[in-house]
Structure 1
Amino acid sequence: MTSIPTFNDETWLRLVRYAAEAFNELTLSRGFQYFKQQRVTSLNTVQDHTMQATVTGDETYTVRVNVARPAASSCTCPVAVPCKHMAAVMMELGERMGYPVSQLVNARTYLKQLTPAIPPDQLPGQLRGKDVFGWHEFMDALVAGVKPAYNQNQYIEELRRHLQPLNSASIPFSAIEWKYFELHQELFIVRKIRKLSEKSEYRYYTSFVLPRLYTETMNLLRQKSTTLNFSIAEERLKQTLRYMQRQMAEETGNRCMEYGLYMTMWELWVAGRPDADLWAAQQLAELEKLETPAVSAAAAQVFLYLRLSQYEEARAVVESSDMINNVSTDMLLTFLNYIASAKNWELLTDWLAKTAPAFYERRVQELATYIRLWNEAVPHVPGAERQMWSILEQALPDSMWIIEDLLYEQHRWKLWLELQIQQEHGPLHHKVGVLQPIEKEAPELLLPYYHQAIHRCVSLKTRHDYKQAVKLLKRLEKVYKKMKMQGRWEQFLIGFAERHSRLRALQEEMKKGKLLP
């Protein structure tokens, strides 16, 4: 095996902490069985900090363990969470490097024994000179003995109780650093719950709490941005952004909540800086180095490329990560809105066309926002309107109401009325004011709409529908008068009354409406 110069006591402890956090006891037990059965073979260094091994069983799988960032480890087996193969490789690695495998197998118990309560007066010495990653490692040690619980609120309270001594200690931080430290305690809680959500037995219980935690943390970011200039402590800001990058890279699934935190911080604390473009370039360089860029991290790359007007690079990331099918439409809308704000209409049209499938069968509000962007681009790009209508047709029936609104806004009355007839709507389906512009501009188009609706009401042969027919007849009379075709109206009414003379209830309603003597 190729040697690992960075593997030391700190590295081993990092693996043990990851085992305590990411694996349940059953998985560790099964991993230990694989380790004892010597199923781990060909353990070698493939990259700096990364070990690769083969694990045999019913199938053969390849495992990669990143000793610097264990959460970036992976296995080719179909299990979506840290698995027994990964646990077995970590145990094999530990034994070869001279560390007790039992510490991994009983990770939580070992850490609880390892980290006795630290008196508050000793905390300053423990935290002095640490970067934000050191803060998180220290907090991991403080809560190592806290056992996850199905009651997430109880678990969070227990985590906070173990962190409470940090806030009463005389740590030599500046005012800005204290604010950063407070923020990272919240980010720490978010990370612990997110990691717990990756375990199948806790996923249901965290699904309700995790979105709330992210929302509360984003609100905290906004709140702090109004009271303090966090860009003063540039190094802490860079470290915090780097920490968030790692969390994005480790986030599973396509909810991209870590991306939401990252972009909130970026917009509040970086975007307004005069050297923001330089920061964007630096952030991109760091994101590109991530070994396992998840969808959340890819989304951050897209946003930063757009900010730097590197549109081709942004589109390449979207396509390579299959982002259109893997992220929420809310995220796609943030990209589209950014392009619209730059008034790059041709690019916006191109992106709108490519992202169209993501908006089919989506919530009404999302589809409406998407079409609003098309409306902004249409006046500036030849052929864009034709593309927009084609997409609306493909989105039917969800886009029906949008098509109606657009036709109405554009005073395309004939098409609008044909759509109403197709849906078996009638004039009484709308408020009176809806038809008034048509009566003013093109009253002749309303004639078939009224006549068809009257015929439908009469054919139903109920007293209620006869009353509806009379209402429609009286409105139709006004349309004929508007067109100065009173004679034609009278001729129609006489014929109508004769044709339905046997419908006594209808005749009665027409008399009540003073349409017949």
Structure 2
Amino acid sequence: MEDPRIMFELTYENLFQNIRPYFSSIILKRGWEYYREDMVERFRMENGSIVQAIIYGSDLYKVRLDIKHFSSSECSCPYNGYCKHMAAVMFEAVRQVGLQPLQFLTPDRKLMINSKPAANHKPVDTLFAVQAEMDLGGLQVSASVSNGGISNPTLPTIAAAEGASIAIKPVTTPKEVGSVTDWHRYFEKQFSNYSIYSSGALDSFFDEVSSKLLIFGQGWNPSLKVLYEMNVLLFIMKRTDVLQQQIERNYSYYSHSYGQGFRAISKQCYEQFLVLDSQMNSMEVSQLNPSYMQETAAFLAAYSSPKHSSMMRWRDTYSLLWWGLLRDEARIGNEKDRLESISEHQEQLSPRQKQDISMNLALFDVIEGNDQQAMQRTNKLPNRQPSLYVFFLQAFMTNQEWDRLIDWLKWLRPLVQSSGTSHMETYFHYWQEAAKHRELAEEWLDIVCSMLPSSFTYYSRYLLKHQQYRRWIDLQMIFERTPFEIEKESLKLIEAHDRNLLLPLYHLSVERFILQKNRAAYKSAVRLMKKLNQYYKHLGEQEHGQRYLMHIKKQFSRYRAFQEELQKGKLIQ
């Protein structure tokens, strides 16, 4: 069988001599980012020397490369010259014929000619992104010259020093004496080609990856085993993001049907992170090689703030790991420097990335006890939601730092109130927990009252719990709730205490239904009047009930349909 590289006439020799000179180093690096983000689609080779593909940039662009006569190659983008889209397709062409795409970046002709091609069509170049994250060898997570000094938060820029030799380590199964980098290289090798063809296939993705990778950690040092399992989860989250991007790009009309599967994976990952975090022994962790933590931190730096939409709980995971596993003064200092360096280029960041950076810096403020600084840092963020702060509240409650928890709850009150009812349950849950350990009954009640009507449910529960039944009835009437809208258990509780308290609620509801002037409302009013008759009977005040019935019959005597419903209900003859 003929060598596909000869058929395609694409070798390191002609790459270096005939093609690479057309591209500047900046264009190559930009093209590498597009290639690594799976932006190249509909790739096909024709006639041994023609490559055609569609690439997703700010728009859809059609690229045509002529390997024999490269000067006739073209791209439909507005850039006048050999562009990053053409470079990205070139990297994909290199991979398709079994060569190593990353070597197309280096200007070292000797390295290219002497290097052996990869053994299969998905070579170890898929692992270079991981190498970059880990800051190893000749590859670094660095500020890109091509984008004004900002590394892509989703995928690090690959920077190869001029003339530097890049050593490619063989991929081996994860070992206890290995490194986080080695683990991820193996993860990539096993699952880099994993594809999803139906929403149902997502259901088994988490279990499939876990079953194939977690087995290697059996019998390891307990803390190292937990760290390894955490990195498996990080890889699952990263790989799920890639799958989500592919689905949204290729099957956009059906992408909503995959949403439940992606959310399920996110939930599984975070729940397992919580389990592993609770198992981690801080004393044993401190004895592990610091490089494990550094590499894990580098992975988070590379992937925890994706520029594309993601259903993974990256921010919570980032917070959880830095609060526990990665917590170290020097390491935190380095991470803060990295975040602040990126934040200096706000104009090049998406709103989501800006928010991630601010919240991550606020996390470190909180870790260092600078709560006021954390509040100030995030106070002006656009689209703030109370959910951004739940991790802090949970951490304070777990550590029993009740005064800090109360300070944050007070500070969050305006934000929670303006967000409607969606965050009330969580907010008042933490208030109730704090109230168990501090004298806060009156203060808590003032806050609940001040947040009405959003806090109606919580205030209503409070009144019932403390047997303030008359105030509870008043609250229902103020907010125009009818007995049909109130839980039956609550009504039975009031009945058992004192039926007299319910009479005003029923009277008011009857008249409100009648004034709606429609048949359905009249029927509801009659049902309530029947219930009133029962109450008066139990109270021994049938005469009062009869007078009330006659009063209503007379007051609304011109409402013919209502009078008919009274007769049907056998309240009048």
Q: Do both proteins adopt the same fold according to a TM-score greater than 0.5, normalized to the shorter chain?
A: yes
Deviations 1:395-453 (A, max 9, x none): 4xxx543443344445262463363375251499645523247628xx4x545334445
- Secondary structure (helix, strand or coil) at the match of 2:402 reads coil
Aligned to 1:197: 244
- 2:318 equivalent among 257, 262, 272: 262
Aligned to 1:211: 263
Aligned to 2:460: 404
CA contact (8 A) 2:143 2:150 kept: yes
- 1:310 equivalent among 341, 347, 370: 370
Indicate the RMSD between aligned Cα atoms, in angstroms.
5.6
Aligned to 1:187: 234
Aligned to 1:20: 36
User: Does residue 49 of the first structure (1) align with residue 142 of the second (2)?
Assistant: yes
Aligned to 2:427: 370
Deviations 1:107-164 (A, max 9, x none): xxxxxxx999x7xxx837x9898642454356546666x3755447769999999999
Structure-2 separation of matches of 1:491 and 1:18: 81
TM-score by length of 2: 0.55
Structure-2 separation of matches of 1:409 and 1:170: 50
Deviations 1:275-320 (A, max 9, x none): x6xx267436414413547344544443443343210122133225
- 2:415 equivalent among 338, 355, 359: 355
Structure-1 separation of matches of 2:477 and 2:156: 56
Structure-2 separation of matches of 1:245 and 1:72: 9
CA contact (8 A) 2:406 2:431 kept: no
Instruction: Map 1:51-450 onto structure 2 (within 5 A).
Output: 51-53=144-146, 63-64=147-148, 71=155, 123=172, 131-133=179-181, 135-137=183-185, 139-140=187-188, 146=193, 148-151=195-198, 177=224, 180-181=227-228, 183-198=230-245, 200-202=248-250, 204=255, 207-221=259-273, 229=281, 231=285, 232-235=287-290, 236-250=292-306, 252-253=308-309, 257-265=313-321, 269=325, 279=328, 282-283=331-332, 285-290=334-339, 291-292=341-342, 294=353, 295-296=355-356, 298-322=358-382, 325-326=383-384, 329-339=386-396, 341-344=400-403, 347-357=407-417, 359-360=419-420, 362=422, 366-374=423-431, 380=440, 385-393=445-453, 395=454, 399-409=455-465, 411=468, 413-414=470-471, 416-417=473-474, 419-420=476-477, 423=480, 425-426=482-483, 430-431=488-489, 432-436=491-495, 439=498, 443=500, 446-450=502-506
The answer to which of 154-163 and 240-249 deviates more is 154-163
- Secondary structure (helix, strand or coil) at the match of 1:392 reads coil
Unaligned runs of 5+ in 1: 1-8, 41-46, 54-62, 74-89, 100-113, 271-275, 513-517
Deviations 1:477-509 (A, max 9, x none): 545x6xxxx6xx746745755985997976995
Aligned to 1:476: 536
CA contact (8 A) 1:49 1:67 kept: yes
TM-score by length of 1: 0.59
The answer to which of 501-510 and 405-414 deviates more is 501-510
The answer to which of 171-180 and 330-339 deviates more is 171-180
Unaligned runs of 5+ in 2: 1-24, 42-53, 64-73, 85-139, 344-352, 558-562
- Secondary structure (helix, strand or coil) at the match of 1:27 reads strand
- Secondary structure (helix, strand or coil) at the match of 2:379 reads helix
Change (3 A) 1:421 1:473: farther
Change (3 A) 1:155 1:137: farther
The CA deviation at 1:386 is 4.5
CA contact (8 A) 1:336 1:348 kept: yes
Structure-1 separation of matches of 2:416 and 2:31: 44
CA contact (8 A) 1:305 1:313 kept: yes
Q: Which AA in structure 2 matches 1:187?
A: L
- How many pairs are equivalent? 421
